[in-house]
Amino acid sequence: MPSAARTTRSRKPAAASQPTVEEKWAAYERALIITAHPDDAEFLAGGTIAKMCDLGWDVRICVATSGDKGTRDPAMRPQELAATREAEQRAAAQVLGLRECIFWGYPDGFLLETPELRGQVVALIRRLKPDVVVSWDGFRPGFNHHDHRAIGRVVRDALYPAAHDPLYFAEQRADGLAAHRTAELLLAGAEDADFHVDIEPWLERKVDAILCHTSQIDGRTRDDMLKRWRDAAKKDRERRKRTGFRFSESFKRIEMRRPPPPAAPPA
């Protein structure tokens, strides 16, 4: 019979269980949505955003362009359309429960992946300190809007490694913007989505937020949109099997596993 000491040495410590995504989300407090145009967020992630707001998070949206080209009306003036779309975005944000809308006003269709834009995203992340960032998947193959590709790539490059490492855009420290490590990035519109959010409890709110974008919905009604989604859910058994839900929004989920940056030395 083995000795008690030998028996004790032969035991392996139990592996610590990893928290689930739900448990991680229960501990989060802030989210930042960064999109190319007004209405991107509501179509792509309106249900997920409503869920985040209902979890009690501080959720804010930044829209990079003014959306001033998004019309089929040749008589529409760009300045008038930009003002309309900003008002529509504010109304949609109120429906979803967002705390703030931030508008950068770049011209629609001409968003560029510049170091200046990356620094602007880094500064926003460092100021708001989000636990989760949501943006476009700028790396997916196939057809996609130029601005969607640009903002998605800039956001990912801003998150890793720039916002986290203090020597990137070090001049921001003079404005009190210390390095910040975001926990998760959700890339919307991804071809290889691996994270699915059940939005059935928030489907009607998502539709109500989309309907705020009157200039973009070609006269569709609430009943029309809800019927379309519900009919599609009945027919698309493969999607239900893949996501596990009748109504869902899907993302490529990336966790930032690096350790937090060291504390700044005393002045």
Kindly give the confidence (pLDDT) of every residue in the chain, 267 residues in length, as a single tens digit, with 9 standing for 90 and above.
444 444 444 455 555 678 899 999 999 999 999 999 999 999 999 999 999 999 999 999 999 999 999 999 999 999 999 999 999 999 999 999 999 999 999 999 999 999 999 999 999 999 999 999 999 999 988 778 999 999 999 999 999 999 999 999 999 999 999 999 999 999 999 999 999 999 999 999 999 999 999 999 988 999 999 999 999 999 999 999 999 999 999 999 999 865 555 566 665
Q: Are 33 and 41 in contact (CB under 8 A)?
A: yes
Return the amino acid letter for 34: I
Largest CA distance in the chain: 92
CA 183/CA 249 separation, integer angstroms: 20
Pairing status of strand 184-188 against strand 132-136: parallel
Provide the CB-side half-sphere exposure for 215 (13 A, CA).
24
Q: Looking at the domain 26-255, which fold is it?
A: Rossmann fold (3.40.50)
pTM over 0.75: yes
Looking at this protein, which amino acid is placed at residue 33?
A: I
The domains of the chain are located at 26-255
